[in-house]
């Protein structure tokens, strides 16, 4: 079984991704390899942040790995919060703070179009690969649902009447931006 590190300690992401990856892969977290430091995320694009994290793990631990970065891109906010989605309300904020800031900034706006975009950066045998997943939808005016994480309670994907936080993990894993990026990565690894 091929071991590959997913450069995260986020249990939600690990669960989401382990359900998607092909069966011949043993998925390891940062904790599993003894990496307890914060990974650098100092780049100004989602792609570059994902690569920066993967390179950090690959260079320090010499293991095949992948990292992802995700951003919520809101049309009326010219793509914000984008690469700053996790710290939109400030460095020491949490998901609730980020959601409240987003809802406040969009108060009264009729254009609520948005998309979630994930880029997965894979380093396999020293070679780098990028896989993107994107899902369009709109920002709700208030939170709906308690499952999921991040902006899930206020994101309604196109073609659905449930927010990401209202749909179960099984449905979300089939349609989400991360799922789309990871399916591409999994297909690549299966070759």
Q: How far is CA 27 from CA 19, 44, 106, 167, in A?
A: 10, 28, 38, 25
Q: Which two tokens stand for residue 21?
A: 């990856």
C-alpha closest to that of 50 among 116, 149, 123 = 123
Reduced to 3 states (helix: H, G, I; strand: E, B; else coil), residue 182 is: helix
| Cβ(90)–Cβ(81) below 8 Å | no
C-alpha closest to that of 147 among 176, 120, 118, 119 = 176
Query: Of 32, 47, 68, 69, which residue is the catalytic one?
Result: 69
69 is catalytic: yes
Q: Show which residues are catalytic.
A: 69
């Amino acid at each position: 079984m091929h071991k590959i590190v997913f450069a995260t300690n986020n249990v939600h992401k690990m669960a989401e991704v382990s359900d998607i990856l092909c069966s011949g892969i043993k998925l390891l977290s940062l904790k599993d390899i003894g990496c307890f430091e914060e990974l650098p995320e100092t780049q100004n694009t989602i792609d570059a942040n994902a690569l920066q994290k993967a390179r950090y793990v690959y260079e320090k631990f010499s293991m095949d790995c992948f990292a992802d970065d995700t951003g919520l891109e809101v049309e009326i906010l010219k793509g914000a919060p984008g690469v700053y989605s996790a710290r939109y309300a400030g460095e020491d904020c949490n998901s609730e703070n980020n959601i409240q800031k987003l809802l406040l900034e969009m108060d009264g706006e009729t254009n609520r179009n948005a998309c979630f975009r994930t880029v997965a950066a894979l380093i396999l045998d020293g070679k780098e690969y990028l896989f993107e997943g994107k899902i369009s939808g709109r920002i709700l005016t208030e939170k709906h649902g308690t499952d999921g994480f991040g902006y899930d309670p206020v994101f309604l994907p196109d073609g659905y009447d449930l927010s990401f936080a209202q749909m179960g993990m099984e449905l979300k894993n089939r349609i989400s931006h991360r799922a789309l990026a990871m399916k591409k990565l999994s297909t690549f690894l299966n070759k």
